[in-house]
Structure 1
């Protein structure tokens, strides 16, 4: 930083000599005024930007301490250093206790002057850094919070502090920028240099920055749009950028309103196909939907196709829905809700197959597919189709596996009287015995052996009731059990009774 300095001394040789020594100290120190008396400086104080004043103590009319008192009332941030003769040493020490930075004995020593100047410059830089950090925190607070829900002392304190900086002296606007890849603070500062006006950039989240820019008396409604267009042109073409611009506001307490306006503009322009696009709140397209349109479009085609397990039709309906949504441009909350509904319907059809879901899908879908996380509609739809496509793929496999199980069941029901070896069943559906066993258990909840037994015992019960003339061992043979003892054992395990006991009880 450059320290801007004024020198006040009624002795011409002293003030001119000190000014020369200050200039020799380095380019970081700039003389902005040289005065023979305190009143001269006070007359210029309103138009000068001063960081540090060197003043003699003993001057006619208004002495150094009186000058310090009057300046501190008007511009308390200005620093002071005193020029003192040897006999004024105690006087100088008293002034330091009243807030003066330091003093120099006449004649001024170049090394002492240099040390004092660099020390003051370091202090000024530290103060500015602390104020900048504090200002950024106040801006973040007012941008991200509904002031109606904040304590009065917080909102009023933040407003009071921010009102002291030039950014909020007159009017301001908010420019919301989303980019991919993310623009660093340094690069963004380089692009906004062309504005030639006070502004402050804050990174709100990855790939998204908010810029608060001052708007002066001579500006008009389209000034902010022009600033955003300039910024858009300066950003390299390879960077995907979306910019939303607020209307013009006055006062720090309007920061939240301005941010909401900029976000509304960003949400609409987010749907554009171009790599770089911008819109402002004053030129927003008025919405004609009530926010539920995306869900209604899902109900029309996607949901019925999914319920019928017509997966090609469901995938086509999903793509058609996305095409229609791009035209309607629903708000981000409505789009997020509909996207979560899409994946919820797919997961619902998968039922108990949670172990087969793609890794990472345990993350909350509404958060993961929040439109605000993506730089554009194109990036969002790519992610949504990837997630939906993975679930549709699992559904397709599940449907194929279901057909395999139904084929095996049908074969068992038709050939239950025969010897049903696992290898024989696996050959029918072109699977290995181990995979078929695992698949059958997953789909039905029971083993193939248990299913064969249940089919045979069900037929045995029917024969025992329908034809009392049949011996129990004959019934066993007719359902695939050549060993009467084994048939009795299996029947009792399933039915809780022997075949004879079952027949006798049913007759009662």
Structure 2
């Protein structure tokens, strides 16, 4: 029984003390994996014990004073449909016993009690409870997989990369075939907040905000909510709520402020259709958020007609933006400075008014800053300060030179900094983090947060560098520690499970056997000579 999970709880109900005593001593409760948690002399007393102990099995006399056995079952089964009732009945109570079976009793036996028959009946009841628990675990696992897979799928499409997710088409359903729009929720001054939070505090704050958003989305008609970048979440809404965009954004800001005391801003995209358009509406919502920096105030920003689309056509230099992003990722200062000069030429060639030129420069600066923040390279300068200075400058040349000076200074400090890490070192650092925390309920979101990567980027990079998926590596660490404990200690098998991150010893045994080909007990016996 060492490998079996926590014992199932049994409540005995009978108005005859001699029957209660005989049940307690004549049944091998320990061997059956059962534990008596209480005794009651009538149904009324049993109700209080059921509330207190939440038993799995009730063995009850069918006829008792105050509240009889069937009345007791009728009272509690609607609230606990998986509770198993076994009734004890007299020879003259066949009809009553059959009625109990019809109403949901597991079985009944006649007086005088045949203890072997009751033992066999309890064995079947335990098997049923085992199957129920396994089904619950399976459904929980499927629900968790579905949630994670949906988030991963939405994140990949938002990044414009659907190919790795072809095998997850079954999750798409049709919710994005109709009109929908996107909201991007971003914590204000996240870089400053992140710098002052410890890793544990950061995880707790981001977890709290996510819970707030998920609970709010259930009541607001949102289609989905998932984290994207650190300090940023994406929500999808049906197009039917398009007329209420601003109100939705204001509710989001107010809810996060009320429950977490954190300030945030919300950018909202235009409406679109189809899951493949996620990568189109994300830039729209994110671009709307840039207005937060122009305005200097937190709030709701909606992607609508902008100066670029009013009057004459002004094309945003997207190719130039992509080249600048690459120069920052590779810390190529020379290339970066040349590209800033090209941006000046692009703006000058179109003879843009100061307002439009300033808007393009500021938008580019915010995009590049987001890249720096995402890579978690050294950046101790203030984005708001730079944008404020740009707004005060009078000429294009002055603005470009100010941008070049700021990014040049940042690039030099990053090149000198020991904090710069390539993908391999980030993954290796995260592997050490997992090795130190595998015994907790460690989530992929927490690991990605530690690595300072989006969940999608973290998943692909971790697999590429380590050869494991996140879950595979967590399981590997847990199994290695379990093998060490089994080989080098006398800790009981069921006590090993919580030491390596599993609250359910039965599930731990299943995982261990799958990983090693042996149950924990078989593994210990095979290596018994190593235990001192």
TM-score by length of 1: 0.36
Max radius of gyration: which structure?
1
TM-score by length of 2: 0.35
